[in-house]
């Protein structure tokens, strides 16, 4: 089920603060300013530092010097010269709760981003991901639709993309982190795609075989710990080679599930395409409005 | 600060992928400079939320962005429904030092500019 956390987050216009600091007098000392900026950003507030006023709306103006207030309805001025960074951040937290804005940073922004310069729309990512992160638009084009369904720190779908087209900007290593895709990466990635290759064949049957072996061992030897160790060893191998978290490994789809998901995704895309076609046909067949309808 | 180009800094607040030293040194130098700038907690989060401010940034070919890999930043904007103009300068805190970035951005403190 789709989490609502992302949709509930306040947007940057609601959280933005203006740090009004003149070029001459009325400036914060360097380390104080840096502490304030870092704390504001870590508390989820975009900051605009300006020496003059700004026409764009802000949640609050943080005023360093003793200039007179420029009255902007709904935008409080907070005189911060004598305040610590913590005090400023606490003031803003109070303001957020008065305005019933949710606290920023409740969701870790970990999700796939598609490089459409490389994507060939093969839909392998959509078929592979069990968490409905991917979908297709009305033209059948792959899309990331539910970012907040993605499992934090799981780059598994980038491993099945044959084109190295899936980025996780917060991933440690390239090219998945957005670093330039080199020829060697494509070669490496196409080997891997056979994620499979890692286990000497199809990943799904390998996993199944391994758990079958583990199950047999369990039933014959009645040695639960051995069976568990075998499973753990297999998962560790996958986890280390591919950085895939346990939670995802434990729920990898079977080949049958993949086929079923692909079929459902195609149907869904087809329905969306048909619906938009119907609307277009209705628009086209609708008679031109009469002067009365236009209220002329 | 060199030129009057708008400058956007991303603090990558919800992950530890940008070296802390680079982002903090650069943020300090931005603050010490005599120019205006904008700083956002996390462009990734803004992209996922389709934050309306991204449209404003993407509408400015004079923009300079200091964040991470340019390929990530461009496709993050695309994912939110906005193409970054080709002219937008993208600076990468995951690959460059604060000194290199500071020089590339022409950050001048009052002290350095003799003010
Ligand atoms: S697997 Fe890769 S190439 Fe295929 S649709 Fe997904 S992102 Fe595009
Ligand atoms: S755009 Fe790059 S620097 Fe900014 S939050 Fe995302 S990963 Fe971090």
The contact set of B with A (CB < 8 A) is 11-15, 17, 24, 27-28, 30-32, 34, 36-42, 44-49, 51-53, 68-73, 75-76, 78-79, 94
Residue A183 banded pLDDT, cuts 50, 70, 90? confident
Asked whether residue B92 carries a pLDDT value surpassing 60, the answer given is: yes
Structure tokens at A47: 């900051």
Residues 201..230 of A with a Cβ closer than 8 Å to B: which?
Answer: none
CB B96 within 8 A of CB B104: yes
Q: Which domains does chain A have, with CATH numbers?
A: 4-98 (3.40.50), 113-193 (3.30.70.20)
CB A65 within 8 A of CB A81: yes
CB A133 within 8 A of CB A150: yes
Q: What pLDDT, in 10s, does the model give residues A118-135? A: 999 999 899 888 889 999
Question: Does the distance separating the beta carbons of A47 and B38 come in below 8 Å?
Answer: yes
Q: Which residues of B touch A49 (CB under 8 A)?
A: 30-31, 36-39
Q: What is the pLDDT of residue A191?
A: 44
Q: Which residue has the tokens 């951040």?
A: A89
Residue A72 banded pLDDT, cuts 50, 70, 90? confident
Which of A12-21, A249-258, B45-54 is predicted with the least confidence, judged by mean pLDDT?
A249-258
CB A266 within 8 A of CB A135: no
Q: Which residue, A198, A261, A190, A201, is CA-closest to A235?
A: A198
The CB of A40 under 6 Å from ligand 1? The reply is: no
**Burial of residue A279, with CB atoms counted within 10 A of its CB: 0-12 exposed, 13-18 middle, 19 or more buried:** exposed
Q: What is the pLDDT of residue A181?
A: 92
Structure tokens at A167: 């980025």
Omega before residue A60 within 30° of 0, cis: no
CB A134 within 8 A of CB A126: yes
Backbone angles phi, psi at A212, to 5 degrees: -65, -45
Residue A52 banded pLDDT, cuts 50, 70, 90? confident
Question: Per the confidence metrics, is the pTM higher than 0.90?
Answer: no
Residue A66 banded pLDDT, cuts 50, 70, 90? confident
Please count the residues of chain B.
115
Tell me, rounded to whole angstroms, the distance of Cα A82 from its chain centroid. 39
């Amino acid at each position: 089920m789709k989490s609502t956390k992302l949709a509930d987050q306040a947007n940057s216009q609601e959280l933005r603060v203006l740090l009004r600091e003149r070029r001459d007098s009325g400036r914060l000392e360097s380390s104080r300013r840096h502490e304030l900026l870092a704390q504001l950003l870590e508390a989820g507030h975009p900051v605009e530092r300006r020496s003059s006023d700004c026409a764009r709306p802000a949640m609050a103006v943080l005023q360093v010097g003793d200039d007179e207030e420029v009255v902007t309805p709904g935008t409080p001025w907070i005189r911060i010269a004598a305040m610590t960074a913590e005090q400023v951040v606490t003031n803003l937290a109070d303001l957020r709760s008065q305005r019933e804005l949710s606290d920023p940073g409740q969701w870790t922004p970990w999700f796939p981003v598609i490089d459409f310069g490389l994507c060939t729309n093969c839909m392998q990512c959509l078929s592979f991901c069990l968490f409905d992160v991917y979908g297709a638009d009305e033209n059948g084009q792959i899309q990331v639709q539910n970012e907040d369904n993605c499992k934090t720190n799981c780059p598994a779908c980038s491993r099945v993309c044959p084109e190295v087209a899936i980025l996780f900007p917060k991933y440690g290593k390239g090219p998945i982190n957005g670093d330039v895709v080199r020829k060697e990466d494509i070669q490496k990635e196409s080997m891997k795609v056979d994620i499979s290759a890692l286990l000497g064949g199809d990943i799904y049957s390998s996993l199944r075989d391994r758990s079958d072996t583990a199950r047999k061992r369990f039933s014959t030897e009645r040695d639960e710990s051995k069976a568990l160790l075998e499973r753990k060893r297999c998962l560790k191998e996958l986890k280390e080679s591919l950085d895939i978290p346990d939670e995802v490994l434990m729920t990898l789809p079977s080949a049958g599930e993949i086929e079923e998901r692909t079929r459902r995704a195609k149907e869904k895309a087809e329905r969306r395409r048909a619906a938009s076609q119907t609307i277009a046909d209705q628009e086209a067949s609708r008679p031109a409005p009469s002067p009365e309808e236009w209220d002329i | 600060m060199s030129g009057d180009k708008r400058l956007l800094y991303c603090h990558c607040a919800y992950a530890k992928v940008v070296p802390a030293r680079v982002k903090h040194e650069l943020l300090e130098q931005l603050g010490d400079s005599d120019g205006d700038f904008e700083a956002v907690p996390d462009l990734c989060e803004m992209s996922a939320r389709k934050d309306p401010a991204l449209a404003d940034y993407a509408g400015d070919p004079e923009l300079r962005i200091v964040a991470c890999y340019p390929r990530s930043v461009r496709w993050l904007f695309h994912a939110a429904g906005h193409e970054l103009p080709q002219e937008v300068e993208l600076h990468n805190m995951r690959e460059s030092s604060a000194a290199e970035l500071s020089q590339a951005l022409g950050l001048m403190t009052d002290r350095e500019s003799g003010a």
